[in-house]
Each structure stands twice: as structure tokens, then as C-alpha cells.
Amino acid sequence: MVVATGKSILNGIAIGKIKIYKAPVYDINMNQIEDVEAEVARFDAAIEKAIKQQGILYEKAKKDAGEESAGIFEAHQLMLEDEDLQDAAKEIITSQKRSAEYATKTAFDEYAQMFAEMDDPYMKARSADLLDVETDVLDFLMGNDTSSMQGTEPSILVAEDLAPSETVKLDKSLLLGMITREGSSNSHTAILARSMNLPSLIQCKDIDDSWDGKMAILDGYNSCVYIEPTDDLMQSLSAKHAEDVKKLALLQELKGKPSVTLDGTSVHVYANIGGPSDLGSVNENDAEGVGLFRSEFVYLNSKEEPTEEQQFTAYKRVVETLAPKLVIIRTCDIGADKTIDYMHLDKEENPALGFRAIRICLTRKEFFKKQLRALLRASAFGNMGIMFPMIISKWELMEAKALLEECKAELIKEGHKIGKYQLGIMIETPASVLVADDLAEEVDFFSLGTNDLTQYTCAIDRQNAKLERFSDTHHPAVLKAIQMTIDAGHRHNTWVGICGELGADPTLTETFLRMGIDELSVNAKSVLPLRKIIRSTDLSK
């Protein structure tokens, strides 16, 4: 038996044969070509097919992993549609008389290198995305068939690394788990794997081609893989796997039951969503409401600024469908690692600390009012909460509230009906924690964005894979900040929830309950597991 270790990105066990995936080798024609026009036409046709494929991958990812995870393929589509990139490749074909394959690889590699050398971690990450779409174009140019990468029987797929498009192309019915030599826990591929509920191991440096076809056990709980396991190990881990399957089935029995501790403390368990297409997962997992609707995906999924009517339609559909459940919609949180071409935002040295979220909205007030009007109109169709992100000072909150009141007055004058709504803010910086008492006087609720709160409290860039060993989401300072926020909120009758990744961490659920948290908003698949923990916790002991 061979034991190899790595980093687990999802607890779980997969048992089956190993299938080694080898990325296609591109034998690029280096010779000069005669028919330049024909070669340009080949390139255009391949680009068109690749763009169309991103749409197909988007729909597949949305179905398998949710709209937020699928967003990467819309970004890929925009890359392929970039005229500067296309022109760079065509210039190589026409001026150097080179093949479409050579021009594609040269132009895309140069652009990817340019991104890789940027200081901004988000832009660095786009380098890998460019190389991903490059392979799609080359596959169409060279007629490569990638459909056979998994073989014909269910297996544990092993690769050097997997690009997001490769991950989504996989047939889930043939996929038991994934192991890669490279990768980071924050990569798009890792996020997709978690969303698809696949036991996966990254940074497994001992991968060997000799594993191909051998029986193996991927143990996500212990971050390792056993090649040709012993009979005893096979028996014990098969039992553990069967236990996991049984637990998953038992979780279904919790549907319709309240999230109440053994001593009678009630906690709301809501879901985070990226758009209307995630409504199915909210109901399927019996979430009690939506604690975070990331409205920026309405902007990211549009090639131009969405109109008030387009936004109203999206918000109305969600609140109307889920009524009377509460739906909290966060106002536009663009900036930092989420950029949009049509916003024409300046490049910044440190975007995480720069022009983002409420700072953009309070600077571009007509842009912000368009969203506020849409939200207020949608409030008439259900139970809504409106939440402002990145508030660090009371004046920001008061200015945002004044704009909201201004929009309300306009809409009433125009004859629109406006429903009741709750107003809240994100607490995601040490500054907002320290002035939480002042802020609580002005809102109905707080929602702790623990991703950014951890980043800003610990001075750790959450996009930088090199800092993973230094990043401690359980850092005492972060937990103390959460407690301070809950205490401040409750002093002013303001309820407090958590909508960041930490809310789904089962090792902290009891801790949060004892802190007095009122609500946890998590990815939809974590709702029932959290409800189970809540219902088995006794806070009186």
C-alpha cells in the first residue's frame, strides 16, 4: 500500500480506481503558411466555438455548482471576446504568416504572462484563466476530443492540475473524487469541487503515473490517498463512507423542523445566493430565508450597466418566490477582486483597501439610486432586507440612508407601492466593530462578513495562496471582534448574523451559539448540517 498526502478541500471519502488525466499535448505547426485569409478564418471560427462553449459550461456549472461558481465562465467569455487579444493573434497570422495555432498560443501566452507579472493578486489569477481559454481555442483548432478524459467507469481523477473548464466538463456520474498535484484551496477549481460536493485533494506532490487503474481510497478527513489499500483499511473506510451516506439521508429528515437548541434557543439558518437561478437550492435545502443575495452578480452577469427595470425584475423574482421568507439583498459590492469593464474603475495599487462597495455607490450616486429604486419597488412583493456593505463610519451610513429616503419619496410621488423592509449593514472591518454601538442605533440588523473581517483584522490577503499557512480564520482577534459586534448589536435591539464562510464552519457553530448569534447564512448545502448541530446543542450546560 502507498500513502500520499495533500490538502483536503472537502471532507469525505471516495473509493474506486484511479484514472490519470493527461492534459493534451499541442504539437504546434511552426512553419509559415501560404493562405493567410484562410488561417484568419480558422482562428475566427475557433474563437466563435470557444465563446459558445463558455455559455454551455456556464449553464452546466450553474446546474452543478450554483450561479456564483458559474460566473467564471462569463469572465472567460469576455476574455475571448476581447478585441485586443483577437487582434494580437490575427496580427501574428498576417504579418508573420504563421498558423492559427501558433498565433493563438503566442498571443494568449503573452497576455497571460502580462497578467502574471501584475502586483494585484486578482489580476495575477486571471493569468490562469487566459491559459484555460487558450486550451479551448487550441482544442477546436486541432480537433482534440476531451470527452474521453475520464474513461468509461466511475473513478477518482488524478491530474497535475485542473482548470475550471476541465472541472465543469467532467461527467459527474463518472467522477468519485479528484486529486491534483498543484492548486490552492481558494482557486476557482477548488470552489467548484466544493460546490459539486466532490471529495478532493490538492497539493499532492507524490502523484505517480503508476497509480493509473489501481484501487484507491481518497480520505478527505485525513487529507491523504491510499493506493491499493489493505483489506482492513478498505473495510473500515468503506464503513465510514457508508456512514456518511447514511448521515446525508438522515439530514433530509430535518427538513421542515425548526433550528432550535435543546434548551429552546432559536437561531435562523439562511442561505447565501448569487441570483434568481439559486432559488432551487434554497428550497431544496430548506433554508429559512436568504441572508445574503450578492446583488453584484446582477452587474457581473451583464455586458453593460443593468437598468433599474432589469434589476427590479431580478430582485422581485427572488423576494416574490420566497415570500414570506426574509430575503436580504446586499447592495452593489463591486471593486477589490470583482471588477467590471463598463464601470471603468482605475487600477489601484491595493484594491482591497481602495475604491469599492459603498465607496463607489456614494461617489456615483445616480448609479446607486438606480439600484435603490429597484430594491424599494421589489420590497412590495415580499419580505426584504436591504444591506449596505463596507460601512466603516456613521456618516457613510447616514448618507446611504438619506439616498434611500430620497428614492422612496420619488417612487411614492410616481405612484409606486413600497413594502416594509429591514435595513442592515455588513460588519467586515475592525473600524465597524469598534463603532458598532453608534451604527446599531441606525439599523435593524448587522451581518458579519467574516471573509473580509478576517482579512482586515489579520492583515492577510485572502486571495494570496502563499499566505495560507499564516491565515487563521479561528484567530482569537477575529472571534473577539465577532463577540464585540454581537454584544453591541444586542445593546441596541439590533439582531446579528454571520454571512461569511466562517458561518458554515461546524467546529464553530456551538461557539457562535454561545456568543448569542441570531442568524447564520451559509451556502445552501450547509443548511441542514448546521441545523443538526444546532438541534443537538444544549446551551444550558
Active-site amino acid positions = 188, 499
Q: Which residues pair with 233 in a beta bridge?
A: none
Task: Centre a 10 Å sphere on the Cβ of residue 460 and count the other Cβ atoms it contains.
Answer: 17
426, HSE (Cβ side, Cα atoms, 13 Å):
27
* 157 beta partners: 19, 178
3-state secondary structure 343-408: HCCCCCCCHHHCCCCHHHHHHCHHHHHHHHHHHHHHHHHCEEEEEECCCCCHHHHHHHHHHHHHHH
Rounded to whole angstroms, what are the CA distances from 407 to 91, 204, 319? Answer: 50, 54, 20
Q: What is the DSSP letter of 265?
A: -
Beta-strand (E) ranges in 404-450? Answer: 421-427, 445-448
DSSP 346: P
Cell numbers placing 440: 446599531
For 305, phi then psi, to 5°, come to: -55, 125
Pairing of strands 445-448, 421-427: parallel
Instruction: Give Cα separations from 35 to 141, 196, 364, 421 (angstroms).
Output: 16, 46, 51, 64
Residues 6+ apart with CB under 8 A from 377: 312, 316, 411, 416, 418
Burial 238-254 (b: 16+ CB within 10 A, else e): eeebeebeeeeeebeeb
Peptide bond into 324 cis (omega under 30): yes
- Please give the Cα distance from 291 to 135 (Å, whole number): 38
Write out the E strands in 22-168: 155-159
- Rounded to whole angstroms, the Cα distance separating 140 from 48 reads 10
Cell 487558450 belongs to which residue?
134
Give yes or no for a contact between 330 and 294, defined as CB atoms under 8 angstroms apart: yes
- What are 14's strand-pairing partners? 218
